[in-house]
Amino acid sequence: MNFLEERILKDGIVKEGNVLKVDSFLNHQMDVNLLDEIGKEFHRRFADLNITKVLTIEASGIAIAYAVARCFNVPMVFAKKTQSINIDGDMYTTEVESFTHKNRNQVIVSKRFLSSEDKLLIVDDFLANGCALQGLLSIAELSGASVEGIGIAIEKGFQYGGRSIRNLGYRLESLAIVESMDAATQTIVFREQ
Ligand code: 5GP
């Protein structure tokens, strides 16, 4: 079991509706040492790639993406969520459905910050049905940047996002893949990797 799996077992809380709460260490209160470890681990796993930028989506991807970008010593860009429909032509835009909030957001990245020269590592805190990731992939595609790798802290393996993104041929690595979890017993089972 790796450091993140151990921490999830210690402090993660399984909620009804297939939601794993990790807000005491990852996406509300943040354990900065754990974030550093996550950054180092993704750097180790993707060290063979010539990454020029790390891309994520606000809000909860930002801290992880910072830690990863710090290790690669490259800029980090986060896609912003906005309700506005008056987006000017200087933005790459797409729509993303939120798993946690059950709404749709316009997601934007300024054209100044991504280009066809970029080799991206996309990172996020969770992968569930893959909507957030699909949004980031379409932003990357609009910019012409290549997606070299995808790093996810926690993948919920019983939802279809991971399978569909891997089927598209992307190099997707998740530090912890939850195979099953149960709110009544607070049991969490990880996939052997
Ligand atoms: P997806 O778009 O893959 O369906 O869901 C990914 C996004 O939803 C992530 O960016 C994450 O913020 C949020 N999310 C999905 N599942 C969970 C969960 O079980 N717990 C938490 N805390 N966030 C989740």
**What are 133-187's pLDDT values in tens digits?**
999 999 999 999 999 999 999 999 999 999 999 999 999 999 999 999 999 999 9
Instruction: Tell me if 104 sits within 8 A of 95, measured CB to CB.
Output: yes
| Ligand 1 atom, smallest distance to 21 CA | 22
Residue matched to tokens 């794993």 = 20
- pTM equals 0.96
User: Is 3 within the bounds of a domain?
Assistant: no
C-alpha of residue 140 to centroid of ligand 1, in Å: 20
For the sheet containing 76-82, what is the strand order?
A: 91-97, 104-110, 76-82, 53-57, 119-127, 146-156, 172-182, 187-190
Q: How far apart are CA 87 and CA 174, in angstroms?
A: 33
User: Is 86 within the bounds of a domain?
Assistant: yes
User: Is 51 within the bounds of a domain?
Assistant: yes
Residues with CB under 6 A from ligand 1: 19-22, 27, 60, 99-100, 124-133, 156, 161
Closest CA to 93 of 133, 58, 143: 143
Q: How far apart are CA 56 and CA 150, in angstroms?
A: 10
User: Is 85 within the bounds of a domain?
Assistant: yes
Residue matched to tokens 């490259």 = 74
Q: Quote the number of domains for the chain.
A: 1
178 half-sphere exposure, CB direction, 13 A CA radius? 30
Question: Is pLDDT of 75 > 90?
Answer: yes
Task: Give the CATH number, domain containing residue 133.
Answer: 3.40.50.2020
User: Is 186 within the bounds of a domain?
Assistant: no
Burial class of 116 by CB neighbour count within 10 A (0 to 12, 13 to 18, 19+): exposed
Q: 123 has which bridge partners? A: 151
C-alpha of residue 182 to centroid of ligand 1, in Å: 17
User: Is 7 within the bounds of a domain?
Assistant: no
Question: Is pLDDT of 85 > 70?
Answer: no
C-alpha of residue 126 to centroid of ligand 1, in Å: 5
User: Is 18 within the bounds of a domain?
Assistant: no
Question: What's the confidence (pLDDT) of residue 89?
Answer: 80
Question: What's the confidence (pLDDT) of residue 87?
Answer: 66
Question: What's the confidence (pLDDT) of residue 104?
Answer: 87
C-alpha of residue 130 to centroid of ligand 1, in Å: 9
Instruction: Tell me if 56 sits within 8 A of 136, measured CB to CB.
Output: yes
Q: How far apart are CA 128 and CA 21, in angstroms?
A: 13
Domain span at residue 133? Answer: 42-178
User: Is 183 within the bounds of a domain?
Assistant: no
